[in-house]
């Protein structure tokens, strides 16, 4: 009797332990996968499809990046340059059109952050520094959903040091 019981306890452990291990692997993997992507957007918009497969230039949708502080998230109207004709009955396009017709701008969630006190400007980086978007934003054109990035001061400083860009402005330039 006693040995039968021991057996079944052992059998339970044989199943339970690997299951617990597998479970925790999946749990961490899942957490990791989730964190690797940014927030879900109100309209499913894929940079991979637009900038990658269809090779639409970043500048077409974000035309102010090298000129002003605000790179410009495309206004709704811009989507319909194309989507008046391209897949106009796609459910996400229908949703976008409802926003447009109701004059209810899509609330895109921000994915790139800098600390509050930092005023980041694209202009010196793109126009004078000649940097590619990907050097800071990663390979956006391969992403369906953009990855969240918290820019820490270290990121700014490491690159500035490598490129011998200005370092002594850290107290003066952002206020």
Binding ligand HEC by CB under 6 A: which of 8, 19, 128, 142? 128
50: CB partners within 8 A, 6+ apart = 56, 61
Distance CA 80, CA 90 (A): 13
Stretch that binds ligand HEC, among 1-9, 18-26, 27-35, 72-80 (CB under 6 A): 72-80
Q: For residues 18 and 146, which CB has a smaller minimum distance to ligand HEC in the complex?
A: 146
Q: For residues 31 and 166, which CB has a smaller minimum distance to ligand HEC in the complex?
A: 166
Distance CA 171, CA 149 (A): 23
158: CB partners within 8 A, 6+ apart = none
Say if CB 148 and CB 142 are below 8 A apart.
Answer: no
Binding ligand HEC by CB under 6 A: which of 20, 74, 147, 168? 74
* Other beta carbons less than 10 A from residue 60's beta carbon: 12
Binding interface with ligand HEC (CB under 6 A):
41, 43-47, 49-51, 54, 56, 58, 60-62, 65, 70-71, 73-74, 78-79, 81-83, 86-87, 90, 92-93, 96, 108, 110-114, 118, 120, 122, 124-126, 128-129, 131, 133, 135-137, 140-141, 146, 151, 155-156, 159-160, 163, 165-166, 169, 173-174
């Amino acid at each position: 009797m006693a040995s039968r019981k021991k057996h079944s306890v052992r059998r339970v452990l044989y199943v339970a332990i690997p299951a617990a291990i597998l479970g925790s692997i999946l749990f961490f993997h899942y957490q990791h996968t989730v964190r690797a992507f940014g927030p879900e957007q109100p309209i499913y918009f894929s940079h991979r499809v637009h900038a990658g497969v269809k090779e639409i230039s970043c500048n077409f949708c974000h035309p102010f990046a090298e000129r002003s502080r605000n790179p410009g998230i495309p206004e709704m109207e811009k989507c319909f340059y194309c989507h008046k004709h391209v897949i106009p009955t796609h459910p996400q396009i229908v949703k976008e059109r409802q926003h447009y017709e109701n004059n209810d701008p899509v609330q895109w969630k921000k994915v790139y952050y800098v600390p509050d006190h930092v005023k980041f400007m694209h202009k010196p980086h793109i126009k004078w520094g000649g940097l590619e978007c990907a050097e800071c934003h990663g390979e956006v054109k391969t992403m369906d959903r953009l990855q969240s990035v918290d820019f820490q001061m270290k990121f700014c400083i490491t690159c500035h040091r490598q490129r011998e860009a200005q370092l002594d402005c850290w107290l003066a330039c952002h206020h």
